[in-house]
Structure 1
Amino acid sequence: MSLQSLLQNAAGQSSSITMTTFLIDIGAALIIGFMIALVHMYKSSYTKSFVVTVAVLPAVVAMVIMIVNGSIGAGIAVAGTFSLVRFRSAPGSAKEIAAVFLAMAAGLACGMGFLLYAFLFVAIILTAILLYSLSKFGSQSNKARTMTVTIPEVLDYTDVFDDLFKKYTDECRLTHMKTSNMGSLFKLTYSLKLKSEAAEKDFVDEIRCRNGNLEIIIHRSIEEGEL
Protein backbone atom coordinates (compact mmCIF):
# COMPACT_ATOMS: atom_id res chain seq x y z
CA MET A 1 0.00 0.00 0.00
CA SER A 2 1.49 3.35 -1.08
CA LEU A 3 1.71 6.50 1.01
CA GLN A 4 -0.71 8.24 -1.34
CA SER A 5 -3.39 5.59 -0.83
CA LEU A 6 -2.94 5.78 2.94
CA LEU A 7 -3.48 9.54 2.86
CA GLN A 8 -6.52 9.16 0.63
CA ASN A 9 -8.07 6.59 2.99
CA ALA A 10 -7.43 8.81 5.99
CA ALA A 11 -8.97 11.79 4.20
CA GLY A 12 -12.03 9.76 3.26
CA GLN A 13 -12.57 8.57 6.81
CA SER A 14 -12.07 12.10 8.22
CA SER A 15 -14.69 13.54 5.85
CA SER A 16 -17.31 11.16 7.33
CA ILE A 17 -17.35 13.17 10.58
CA THR A 18 -20.45 15.36 10.71
CA MET A 19 -20.53 18.85 12.19
CA THR A 20 -22.87 17.65 14.94
CA THR A 21 -20.53 14.82 15.92
CA PHE A 22 -17.58 17.20 15.85
CA LEU A 23 -19.25 19.75 18.14
CA ILE A 24 -20.51 17.11 20.58
CA ASP A 25 -17.11 15.42 20.86
CA ILE A 26 -15.19 18.68 21.28
CA GLY A 27 -17.76 20.03 23.75
CA ALA A 28 -17.59 16.85 25.83
CA ALA A 29 -13.78 16.98 25.77
CA LEU A 30 -13.80 20.60 26.98
CA ILE A 31 -16.18 19.74 29.83
CA ILE A 32 -14.00 16.80 30.86
CA GLY A 33 -10.89 18.98 30.66
CA PHE A 34 -12.53 21.56 32.92
CA MET A 35 -13.38 18.83 35.44
CA ILE A 36 -9.80 17.55 35.45
CA ALA A 37 -8.37 21.07 35.86
CA LEU A 38 -10.81 21.84 38.68
CA VAL A 39 -9.82 18.75 40.66
CA HIS A 40 -6.12 19.35 39.98
CA MET A 41 -6.37 22.79 41.63
CA TYR A 42 -7.70 21.24 44.85
CA LYS A 43 -5.01 21.22 47.56
CA SER A 44 -2.23 21.74 45.00
CA SER A 45 0.16 24.46 43.96
CA TYR A 46 -0.40 25.29 40.31
CA THR A 47 0.05 27.89 37.60
CA LYS A 48 -2.69 29.32 35.42
CA SER A 49 -0.90 28.27 32.24
CA PHE A 50 -0.78 24.62 33.33
CA VAL A 51 -4.43 24.57 34.44
CA VAL A 52 -5.58 26.10 31.14
CA THR A 53 -3.45 23.60 29.21
CA VAL A 54 -4.98 20.65 31.07
CA ALA A 55 -8.47 22.07 30.46
CA VAL A 56 -8.05 22.27 26.67
CA LEU A 57 -5.78 19.24 26.17
CA PRO A 58 -8.62 16.66 25.88
CA ALA A 59 -10.21 18.73 23.09
CA VAL A 60 -6.89 18.99 21.23
CA VAL A 61 -6.28 15.24 21.49
CA ALA A 62 -9.88 14.51 20.45
CA MET A 63 -9.42 16.69 17.36
CA VAL A 64 -6.25 14.84 16.39
CA ILE A 65 -7.98 11.47 16.74
CA MET A 66 -10.99 12.61 14.69
CA ILE A 67 -8.76 13.92 11.90
CA VAL A 68 -6.68 10.72 11.63
CA ASN A 69 -9.42 8.20 12.17
CA GLY A 70 -7.62 5.26 10.54
CA SER A 71 -5.83 2.54 12.46
CA ILE A 72 -2.36 3.63 11.29
CA GLY A 73 -3.10 7.30 11.77
CA ALA A 74 -4.53 6.70 15.23
CA GLY A 75 -1.39 4.83 16.25
CA ILE A 76 0.80 7.71 15.10
CA ALA A 77 -1.45 10.23 16.86
CA VAL A 78 -1.35 8.31 20.14
CA ALA A 79 2.45 8.13 20.04
CA GLY A 80 2.68 11.83 19.23
CA THR A 81 0.29 13.01 21.94
CA PHE A 82 1.90 10.94 24.66
CA SER A 83 5.31 12.29 23.66
CA LEU A 84 4.08 15.75 24.73
CA VAL A 85 4.76 14.78 28.33
CA ARG A 86 8.45 14.33 27.60
CA PHE A 87 8.91 17.73 26.02
CA ARG A 88 7.28 19.92 28.66
CA SER A 89 9.38 23.03 29.25
CA ALA A 90 9.61 22.50 33.02
CA PRO A 91 9.81 19.32 35.09
CA GLY A 92 6.44 18.48 36.57
CA SER A 93 5.28 16.95 39.80
CA ALA A 94 3.71 13.50 39.93
CA LYS A 95 0.24 15.03 40.16
CA GLU A 96 0.84 17.24 37.11
CA ILE A 97 2.03 14.27 35.04
CA ALA A 98 -1.03 12.27 36.14
CA ALA A 99 -3.31 15.16 35.13
CA VAL A 100 -1.70 15.34 31.67
CA PHE A 101 -2.04 11.58 31.10
CA LEU A 102 -5.66 11.64 32.33
CA ALA A 103 -6.49 14.54 30.01
CA MET A 104 -4.93 12.75 27.03
CA ALA A 105 -6.71 9.47 27.80
CA ALA A 106 -10.03 11.30 28.04
CA GLY A 107 -9.30 13.12 24.77
CA LEU A 108 -8.56 9.82 23.03
CA ALA A 109 -11.88 8.39 24.21
CA CYS A 110 -13.80 11.50 23.11
CA GLY A 111 -12.10 11.57 19.72
CA MET A 112 -13.08 7.94 19.09
CA GLY A 113 -16.69 8.66 20.08
CA PHE A 114 -16.78 6.86 23.44
CA LEU A 115 -18.21 9.84 25.32
CA LEU A 116 -20.04 7.86 28.00
CA TYR A 117 -16.96 5.80 28.79
CA ALA A 118 -14.85 8.97 28.83
CA PHE A 119 -17.12 10.66 31.39
CA LEU A 120 -17.39 7.49 33.46
CA PHE A 121 -13.63 6.90 33.47
CA VAL A 122 -12.80 10.50 34.38
CA ALA A 123 -15.46 10.56 37.11
CA ILE A 124 -14.04 7.40 38.70
CA ILE A 125 -10.42 8.63 38.54
CA LEU A 126 -11.25 12.12 39.84
CA THR A 127 -13.26 10.65 42.71
CA ALA A 128 -10.30 8.43 43.61
CA ILE A 129 -7.95 11.44 43.48
CA LEU A 130 -10.21 13.44 45.80
CA LEU A 131 -10.52 10.56 48.26
CA TYR A 132 -6.76 10.03 48.33
CA SER A 133 -6.18 13.77 48.78
CA LEU A 134 -8.63 13.98 51.68
CA SER A 135 -7.21 10.91 53.41
CA LYS A 136 -3.81 10.52 55.04
CA PHE A 137 -2.79 7.88 52.51
CA GLY A 138 0.86 8.39 51.54
CA SER A 139 1.40 11.29 53.94
CA GLN A 140 4.67 11.49 55.78
CA SER A 141 4.78 11.79 59.54
CA ASN A 142 4.86 15.36 60.89
CA LYS A 143 7.75 14.23 63.06
CA ALA A 144 10.01 13.38 60.12
CA ARG A 145 13.04 15.63 59.73
CA THR A 146 16.23 15.92 57.70
CA MET A 147 19.02 17.46 59.76
CA THR A 148 22.43 18.70 58.64
CA VAL A 149 24.97 19.27 61.42
CA THR A 150 28.47 20.73 61.16
CA ILE A 151 31.04 19.38 63.62
CA PRO A 152 34.80 19.95 64.09
CA GLU A 153 37.18 17.29 62.82
CA VAL A 154 38.23 16.33 66.36
CA LEU A 155 34.85 14.70 66.99
CA ASP A 156 34.12 11.14 65.86
CA TYR A 157 31.11 11.60 63.58
CA THR A 158 30.12 7.92 63.74
CA ASP A 159 28.75 8.07 67.28
CA VAL A 160 29.06 11.66 68.49
CA PHE A 161 25.27 12.15 68.82
CA ASP A 162 24.14 8.58 69.56
CA ASP A 163 22.96 9.33 73.11
CA LEU A 164 20.96 12.37 71.94
CA PHE A 165 19.35 10.40 69.14
CA LYS A 166 18.25 7.71 71.61
CA LYS A 167 16.82 10.40 73.86
CA TYR A 168 14.93 12.49 71.29
CA THR A 169 14.26 10.30 68.23
CA ASP A 170 12.47 7.07 67.38
CA GLU A 171 14.44 6.54 64.18
CA CYS A 172 17.70 8.04 62.93
CA ARG A 173 20.27 7.20 60.27
CA LEU A 174 23.27 8.98 58.82
CA THR A 175 22.58 9.48 55.10
CA HIS A 176 25.43 11.73 53.99
CA MET A 177 28.81 12.99 55.17
CA LYS A 178 31.17 15.49 53.57
CA THR A 179 34.21 17.48 54.64
CA SER A 180 34.46 21.25 54.36
CA ASN A 181 36.85 24.10 55.16
CA MET A 182 39.85 22.07 53.88
CA GLY A 183 38.91 19.05 55.98
CA SER A 184 38.66 20.85 59.32
CA LEU A 185 34.88 20.39 59.50
CA PHE A 186 32.45 17.53 58.87
CA LYS A 187 28.94 18.14 57.54
CA LEU A 188 26.63 15.29 58.55
CA THR A 189 23.13 14.75 57.17
CA TYR A 190 20.68 12.63 59.16
CA SER A 191 17.19 11.37 58.37
CA LEU A 192 15.29 11.11 61.63
CA LYS A 193 11.88 10.88 63.28
CA LEU A 194 11.35 12.83 66.49
CA LYS A 195 9.70 11.29 69.54
CA SER A 196 7.99 14.59 70.29
CA GLU A 197 7.72 17.78 68.25
CA ALA A 198 7.57 19.78 71.50
CA ALA A 199 11.10 18.65 72.37
CA GLU A 200 12.64 19.74 69.06
CA LYS A 201 14.06 22.97 70.54
CA ASP A 202 15.69 21.08 73.42
CA PHE A 203 17.12 18.60 70.94
CA VAL A 204 18.68 21.37 68.84
CA ASP A 205 20.09 23.09 71.94
CA GLU A 206 21.86 19.91 73.02
CA ILE A 207 23.22 19.40 69.51
CA ARG A 208 24.58 22.97 69.61
CA CYS A 209 26.37 22.30 72.88
CA ARG A 210 27.89 19.15 71.41
CA ASN A 211 29.07 20.64 68.08
CA GLY A 212 30.46 23.90 69.46
CA ASN A 213 27.53 26.03 68.25
CA LEU A 214 28.37 25.38 64.59
CA GLU A 215 25.76 25.39 61.84
CA ILE A 216 22.63 23.20 62.19
CA ILE A 217 19.99 22.95 59.45
CA ILE A 218 16.67 21.14 59.90
CA HIS A 219 14.28 20.48 57.00
CA ARG A 220 10.67 19.44 57.45
CA SER A 221 8.71 17.43 54.90
CA ILE A 222 6.29 19.63 52.93
CA GLU A 223 2.93 18.27 51.85
CA GLU A 224 1.73 19.65 48.51
CA GLY A 225 -1.33 17.48 48.02
CA GLU A 226 0.33 15.28 45.41
CA LEU A 227 -0.47 11.66 44.52
Structure 2
Amino acid sequence: MTIFDSIFQTTSSSVDPFLLFMALGVSLILGLALSYVYKYRTLYTREFIITLTLLPSLMTLVIFLVNGSLGTSIAVAGTFSLIRFRSATSGSRELLAIFISMIIGLAAGTGYLLLALITTILILAIWFLLEKGQSKLPLQTRRHLTLSLAQDQNLEKQLQAALEKYCSAIELISVKSGKKSSNLKLAYEVELLSPNDDFNLSQHLLEVLEVSDFKLTTEAKKRKNL
Protein backbone atom coordinates (compact mmCIF):
# COMPACT_ATOMS: atom_id res chain seq x y z
CA MET A 1 0.00 0.00 0.00
CA THR A 2 1.32 3.45 -0.96
CA ILE A 3 0.68 6.74 0.77
CA PHE A 4 -2.15 7.59 -1.65
CA ASP A 5 -4.00 4.27 -1.38
CA SER A 6 -7.19 3.95 0.64
CA ILE A 7 -7.85 0.86 2.78
CA PHE A 8 -11.56 1.09 1.87
CA GLN A 9 -11.06 0.62 -1.87
CA THR A 10 -12.51 -2.86 -2.22
CA THR A 11 -14.48 -4.53 -5.00
CA SER A 12 -17.23 -5.74 -2.65
CA SER A 13 -19.99 -3.52 -1.33
CA SER A 14 -19.28 -4.47 2.27
CA VAL A 15 -16.36 -3.21 4.32
CA ASP A 16 -14.31 -5.24 6.75
CA PRO A 17 -15.14 -4.03 10.31
CA PHE A 18 -11.47 -4.49 11.18
CA LEU A 19 -10.53 -1.76 8.71
CA LEU A 20 -13.07 0.60 10.24
CA PHE A 21 -11.74 0.00 13.75
CA MET A 22 -8.21 0.46 12.42
CA ALA A 23 -9.17 3.86 11.01
CA LEU A 24 -10.84 4.83 14.29
CA GLY A 25 -7.77 3.71 16.24
CA VAL A 26 -5.38 5.69 14.05
CA SER A 27 -7.52 8.83 14.31
CA LEU A 28 -7.71 8.43 18.10
CA ILE A 29 -3.92 8.08 18.40
CA LEU A 30 -3.38 11.12 16.18
CA GLY A 31 -5.95 13.03 18.24
CA LEU A 32 -3.99 12.22 21.40
CA ALA A 33 -0.79 13.42 19.73
CA LEU A 34 -2.52 16.61 18.63
CA SER A 35 -3.82 17.33 22.14
CA TYR A 36 -0.33 16.75 23.59
CA VAL A 37 1.26 19.25 21.21
CA TYR A 38 -1.55 21.74 21.82
CA LYS A 39 -1.04 21.58 25.61
CA TYR A 40 2.65 22.51 25.27
CA ARG A 41 3.08 26.10 26.50
CA THR A 42 -0.67 26.74 26.19
CA LEU A 43 -3.38 27.66 28.67
CA TYR A 44 -6.10 25.09 28.07
CA THR A 45 -9.26 23.62 29.56
CA ARG A 46 -9.84 19.94 30.19
CA GLU A 47 -13.06 20.01 28.13
CA PHE A 48 -11.28 21.36 25.05
CA ILE A 49 -8.51 18.74 25.30
CA ILE A 50 -11.09 15.93 25.50
CA THR A 51 -12.92 17.41 22.51
CA LEU A 52 -9.69 17.75 20.56
CA THR A 53 -8.80 14.11 21.28
CA LEU A 54 -12.16 12.62 20.28
CA LEU A 55 -13.04 14.93 17.37
CA PRO A 56 -10.86 13.13 14.75
CA SER A 57 -12.51 9.79 15.59
CA LEU A 58 -15.98 11.29 15.31
CA MET A 59 -15.07 12.87 12.00
CA THR A 60 -13.72 9.53 10.79
CA LEU A 61 -17.01 7.79 11.60
CA VAL A 62 -19.11 10.53 9.95
CA ILE A 63 -17.06 10.53 6.75
CA PHE A 64 -17.07 6.72 6.63
CA LEU A 65 -20.87 6.55 6.95
CA VAL A 66 -21.50 8.99 4.09
CA ASN A 67 -18.54 8.02 1.90
CA GLY A 68 -19.45 7.50 -1.75
CA SER A 69 -22.76 9.36 -1.56
CA LEU A 70 -24.02 12.85 -2.23
CA GLY A 71 -24.14 13.48 1.50
CA THR A 72 -20.33 13.57 1.68
CA SER A 73 -20.13 17.15 0.48
CA ILE A 74 -22.93 18.23 2.82
CA ALA A 75 -21.30 16.50 5.79
CA VAL A 76 -17.91 18.05 5.06
CA ALA A 77 -19.42 21.53 4.72
CA GLY A 78 -21.36 21.09 7.96
CA THR A 79 -18.41 19.84 9.99
CA PHE A 80 -16.07 22.51 8.72
CA SER A 81 -18.61 25.16 9.71
CA LEU A 82 -17.73 24.27 13.32
CA ILE A 83 -14.43 26.07 12.77
CA ARG A 84 -16.24 29.34 12.10
CA PHE A 85 -18.31 29.18 15.29
CA ARG A 86 -15.34 28.20 17.41
CA SER A 87 -13.02 30.83 15.93
CA ALA A 88 -15.51 33.60 16.69
CA THR A 89 -14.45 33.53 20.36
CA SER A 90 -11.08 31.78 20.14
CA GLY A 91 -7.53 32.46 19.14
CA SER A 92 -5.69 31.28 16.07
CA ARG A 93 -4.03 28.42 18.00
CA GLU A 94 -7.39 26.80 18.82
CA LEU A 95 -8.52 27.33 15.23
CA LEU A 96 -5.38 25.59 13.98
CA ALA A 97 -5.90 22.64 16.35
CA ILE A 98 -9.53 22.16 15.27
CA PHE A 99 -8.59 22.42 11.60
CA ILE A 100 -5.90 19.74 12.00
CA SER A 101 -8.34 17.46 13.82
CA MET A 102 -10.79 17.86 10.93
CA ILE A 103 -8.08 16.94 8.42
CA ILE A 104 -7.19 13.83 10.47
CA GLY A 105 -10.82 12.75 10.52
CA LEU A 106 -11.27 13.33 6.79
CA ALA A 107 -8.13 11.39 5.87
CA ALA A 108 -8.85 8.48 8.22
CA GLY A 109 -12.55 8.37 7.29
CA THR A 110 -11.73 7.99 3.61
CA GLY A 111 -9.13 5.29 4.38
CA TYR A 112 -5.90 7.19 3.74
CA LEU A 113 -4.31 6.10 7.01
CA LEU A 114 -0.69 6.27 5.90
CA LEU A 115 -1.22 9.76 4.49
CA ALA A 116 -2.90 10.84 7.73
CA LEU A 117 -0.03 9.45 9.83
CA ILE A 118 2.80 10.99 7.83
CA THR A 119 1.27 14.43 7.31
CA THR A 120 0.00 14.75 10.88
CA ILE A 121 3.33 13.74 12.41
CA LEU A 122 5.12 16.20 10.12
CA ILE A 123 2.77 19.09 10.94
CA LEU A 124 2.83 18.39 14.69
CA ALA A 125 6.62 18.14 14.69
CA ILE A 126 6.90 21.54 12.97
CA TRP A 127 4.34 23.02 15.41
CA PHE A 128 6.23 21.61 18.42
CA LEU A 129 9.56 22.93 17.18
CA LEU A 130 8.11 26.38 16.54
CA GLU A 131 6.58 26.48 20.03
CA LYS A 132 9.83 25.31 21.60
CA GLY A 133 11.78 27.91 19.66
CA GLN A 134 9.62 30.69 21.11
CA SER A 135 11.44 30.33 24.45
CA LYS A 136 14.69 31.36 22.76
CA LEU A 137 13.23 34.58 21.40
CA PRO A 138 13.57 37.83 23.33
CA LEU A 139 10.67 38.64 25.65
CA GLN A 140 7.92 40.96 24.47
CA THR A 141 8.76 44.56 25.40
CA ARG A 142 5.78 46.38 23.88
CA ARG A 143 3.23 47.59 26.42
CA HIS A 144 -0.10 49.40 26.54
CA LEU A 145 -0.15 52.08 29.24
CA THR A 146 -3.29 53.87 30.40
CA LEU A 147 -3.28 56.38 33.24
CA SER A 148 -5.46 59.08 34.75
CA LEU A 149 -4.18 62.53 35.77
CA ALA A 150 -5.92 65.50 37.30
CA GLN A 151 -6.33 68.31 34.79
CA ASP A 152 -4.88 70.84 37.19
CA GLN A 153 -1.64 68.86 37.51
CA ASN A 154 1.25 70.10 35.40
CA LEU A 155 2.98 66.74 34.93
CA GLU A 156 3.52 66.67 31.20
CA LYS A 157 7.28 67.14 31.34
CA GLN A 158 7.70 64.78 34.29
CA LEU A 159 5.61 62.11 32.59
CA GLN A 160 7.53 62.47 29.34
CA ALA A 161 10.83 62.24 31.21
CA ALA A 162 9.69 59.12 33.07
CA LEU A 163 8.63 57.38 29.87
CA GLU A 164 11.84 58.32 28.09
CA LYS A 165 13.85 56.92 31.01
CA TYR A 166 12.34 53.44 30.74
CA CYS A 167 11.06 53.30 27.15
CA SER A 168 12.79 53.34 23.78
CA ALA A 169 9.61 54.30 21.89
CA ILE A 170 6.56 56.27 23.04
CA GLU A 171 3.31 56.77 21.12
CA LEU A 172 0.34 58.67 22.49
CA ILE A 173 -2.80 56.86 21.34
CA SER A 174 -5.64 58.84 22.89
CA VAL A 175 -6.56 61.56 25.36
CA LYS A 176 -10.01 61.50 26.96
CA SER A 177 -11.75 63.93 29.29
CA GLY A 178 -15.34 63.93 30.45
CA LYS A 179 -17.43 66.99 31.18
CA LYS A 180 -18.22 65.79 34.69
CA SER A 181 -14.72 64.50 35.35
CA SER A 182 -11.68 66.54 36.33
CA ASN A 183 -9.25 63.84 35.16
CA LEU A 184 -7.49 63.29 31.89
CA LYS A 185 -7.28 59.70 30.66
CA LEU A 186 -4.15 59.08 28.59
CA ALA A 187 -3.36 55.96 26.56
CA TYR A 188 0.15 55.16 25.33
CA GLU A 189 1.83 52.39 23.42
CA VAL A 190 5.42 52.13 24.62
CA GLU A 191 8.45 49.97 23.94
CA LEU A 192 10.34 49.17 27.15
CA LEU A 193 14.14 49.29 27.15
CA SER A 194 14.10 45.96 29.00
CA PRO A 195 11.37 43.35 29.63
CA ASN A 196 12.11 43.75 33.35
CA ASP A 197 11.33 47.48 33.41
CA ASP A 198 7.61 46.98 34.13
CA PHE A 199 8.19 47.14 37.88
CA ASN A 200 10.59 50.09 37.65
CA LEU A 201 8.21 52.12 35.50
CA SER A 202 5.29 51.29 37.79
CA GLN A 203 7.24 52.33 40.89
CA HIS A 204 8.25 55.59 39.20
CA LEU A 205 4.66 56.41 38.31
CA LEU A 206 3.50 55.68 41.86
CA GLU A 207 6.26 57.41 43.82
CA VAL A 208 7.57 60.24 41.67
CA LEU A 209 4.46 61.28 39.75
CA GLU A 210 2.03 60.06 42.42
CA VAL A 211 -0.27 58.54 39.81
CA SER A 212 -2.89 56.47 41.62
CA ASP A 213 -4.80 55.08 38.64
CA PHE A 214 -2.84 53.43 35.80
CA LYS A 215 -2.70 50.15 33.91
CA LEU A 216 0.31 48.58 32.18
CA THR A 217 -0.48 45.56 30.01
CA THR A 218 0.78 43.65 26.97
CA GLU A 219 -2.36 44.31 24.92
CA ALA A 220 -0.34 46.15 22.30
CA LYS A 221 0.95 42.90 20.80
CA LYS A 222 -2.57 41.52 20.17
CA ARG A 223 -3.83 43.90 17.55
CA LYS A 224 -5.08 41.18 15.22
CA ASN A 225 -6.46 37.72 15.82
CA LEU A 226 -7.07 35.16 13.12
Q: TM-score range by the shorter chain?
A: 0.7 to 0.9
- Correspondence for 1:163 among 146, 161, 164: 161
How far did residue 207 of structure 1 move?
A: 3.3
Sequence identity, in percent?
30
Which digits, 9 at most, give the CA deviation of each residue in 1:139-197, with x for residues without a partner? 67343322211111235798763333222211121223322582310111212122235
1:41 maps onto 2:39 in alignment: yes
Who is 1:177 aligned against?
175
Secondary structure class of the residue paired with 1:45: coil
Matched, 1:68 2:45: no
Please give the TM-score of this superposition, normalised by the length of structure 1. 0.79
* Aligned counterparts of 2:197 and 2:31: Cα–Cα separation in 1: 47
8 A Cα contact 1:151 1:211, kept in partner:
no
User: Which range is displaced more, 147-156 or 107-116?
Assistant: 147-156
CA RMSD for the aligned pairs? 3.3
- Alignment check: 8 A CA contact 2:147 2:187 kept: yes
Opposite residue 72 of structure 1, the aligned amino acid is L
The partner residue of 2:112 within 114, 121, 141 is: 114
Q: Which runs of 5+ in 1 are unaligned?
A: 1-12
Q: What letter corresponds to residue 124 of structure 1 in structure 2?
A: L
Question: What aligned pairs does 1:1-227 form with structure 2 within 5 A after superposition?
Answer: 16-70=14-68, 72-88=70-86, 91-136=89-134, 141-154=139-152, 161-180=159-178, 182-197=180-195, 200-208=198-206, 211-220=209-218
Residue pair 1:14, 1:68 contacting (<8 A) in 2 also:
no
Q: Which runs of 5 or more residues in structure 2 are unaligned?
A: 1-10
CA distance in 1, matches of 2:200, 2:105: 55
Summarize the Cα distance change of 1:156–1:106 in structure 2 as closer, same or farther, 3 Å threshold.
farther
**How far apart are 1:34 and its partner, in Å?**
1.0
